[in-house]
Amino acid sequence: MYLDVIITLLKIAIVFGFVLNVAAILSWAERKQSAVMQDRIGANRADVLGFRIFGLFHPIADTIKMLTKEDWVPPAGDAFVHTLAPFLALFTALVVFAVIPFGDTLHIAGRDIPLQIADLNVGILFIVAFGGLGFYSVVLAGWSSENKYSLLGSIRAAAQLISYELALGLSIVGIVMAYGSIELDDIARGQGQYVLGVIPYWGIVAQPLGFILFFTAAMAETKRVPFDLPESESEIIGYFTEYSGMKFGAFWMGEFIEVISVAGVVTALYFGGWQIPFLSNQGVFIPGLFTIPLPHLLVVLLQVSAFGLKVLFFCWFMLLVRWTLPRFRYDQLMAFGWKFMVPLALVNIAVTGLIKYVF
């Protein structure tokens, strides 16, 4: 009983430790990546005793700066809701990780430990539900600031989030049909099969169109370029204009955590989760040829690190997209969501159903 509680707490600590650290590093990586892509040197000024290590002290310097800044609440605004909004932003971004499986079942000392914080039998719907609640942080932030520009920014954000949530939900239906389960660990396990004996049956193989739709819609949900109309940090004003100090920091980190959670969900659904091609639970496995047995602990360790690496890859990929594409115009954004993504997602469901029916 107590051991179960300790194991669960340990899993939470590992997952959230990973997520929060990667989020901090992403704030550095984003600046460094943009610098490299724009032929600049980039963030490298923060130094401790003359050491700069590629500017890796910048996240720490940022944190100190934001924690010590004045915490300003607009006097005309609503202080309670104004404080609530950044907490909601962090909560809804973090809670998604509770259902993402980061490894197969670990057998150790006679116990079976599923490497997933909460194995809910509603799985993906949990992500949709709590991802959807992220909407409130945006809208409440804009409203409680008592600032017309903030309010307009939050309305833009709300319209965008609602529009793309539809495409997001519909694109997930395809993957649920392909693997016949709505639980994330079942989907990840299902991706360990092989097509024609050689191609790993990952989500991207089963649902290529679904992957593109999901990834695009999920990127729109993170509110980053090319979908950054809600904030538009470079010229028009967004919903967290009236925030300062660590409350602004919470929105800022919440955005990076959202990036990691999108990367985590995309990995779990479309890129095999923890699966490594040709590595089964028994060891290296080439279908029909040979098997090299490996110890169980090593296999699990390899799979968990594979999951971490895939997540990091998608985080990096989203930074790449963010510094490559220009922003959509607002009407283009809406038309793209409603007239392109939603019909395509519906077609995807129909085609998936047809293929499932024929085979």
Partner 1 sequence: MENLFFYIAAILAVASAGSVILQRKVMYSVLSLIVALLAVAWMYAMLSAPFLAVVQVILYAGAIMVLFLFVVMMLKYEKTEIQRFRPGLLWCMGLLVAVFFLMKLIYVINRASSLTPQVATLPPDFGSIKSLGGVLYTQYLLPVELTGILLLVAVVGVALLSGIKK
Residues that bind partner 1 (CB under 8 A): 78, 81, 120-122, 125-126, 128-130, 132-133, 135-136, 139, 142-143, 151, 154-155, 158, 162, 182
Please report how close the Cβ of residue 46 comes to partner 1 at its closest, in angstroms: 40
Q: How far is the CB of 162 from partner 1 (least distance, A)?
A: 7
Nearer to partner 1 by C-beta: 43 or 176?
A: 176
C-beta separation of 206 from 179 below 8 A: yes
Shortest distance (Å) from residue 257 CB to partner 1:
19
* Three-class secondary structure of residue 42 per DSSP: coil
Task: Name the minimum Å distance from CB 122 to partner 1.
Answer: 5
Convert 47-77 to b/e letters by CB count within 10 Å (16 or more is b).
eeeeeeeebbbbbeebeeebeeeeeebbeeb
Q: What separation, in Å, do the N-terminal and C-terminal C-alpha atoms of the chain show?
A: 46
The span from the CA of 97 to the CA of 17, in Å, is 11
Contact residues for 58 (Cβ-Cβ < 8 A; gap 6+)? 27, 28, 31, 43, 45, 46
Distance CA 23, CA 103 (A): 21
Distance in angstroms (rounded) separating the CA atoms of residues 145 and 192: 49
Smallest gap from Cβ 231 to partner 1, in A, equals 18
Peptide bond into 226 cis (omega under 30): yes
CB of 72 to partner 1, least distance (A): 21
DSSP-based three-state secondary structure for 147: coil
Nearer to partner 1, 6 or 129 (CB): 129
> 99 vs 188, which CB is nearer to partner 1?
99
By beta-carbon proximity to partner 1, the closer residue of 77 and 283 is 77
What is the C-alpha to C-alpha distance for residues 48 and 46, in angstroms, rounded to an integer?
A: 7
Between 107 and 148, CB nearer to partner 1: 148
Residue 108 vs 350, nearer CB to partner 1: 350
* Closer CB to partner 1, 145 or 303, in the complex: 145
C-alpha–C-alpha distance, residues 184 and 122, integer Å: 9
Closest distance of CB 124 from partner 1, Å? 10
User: Which lies closer to partner 1 via its Cβ, residue 120 or residue 294?
Assistant: 120
Q: Minimum Å distance from CB 50 to partner 1?
A: 51
Residue whose token pair is 């930074």: 319
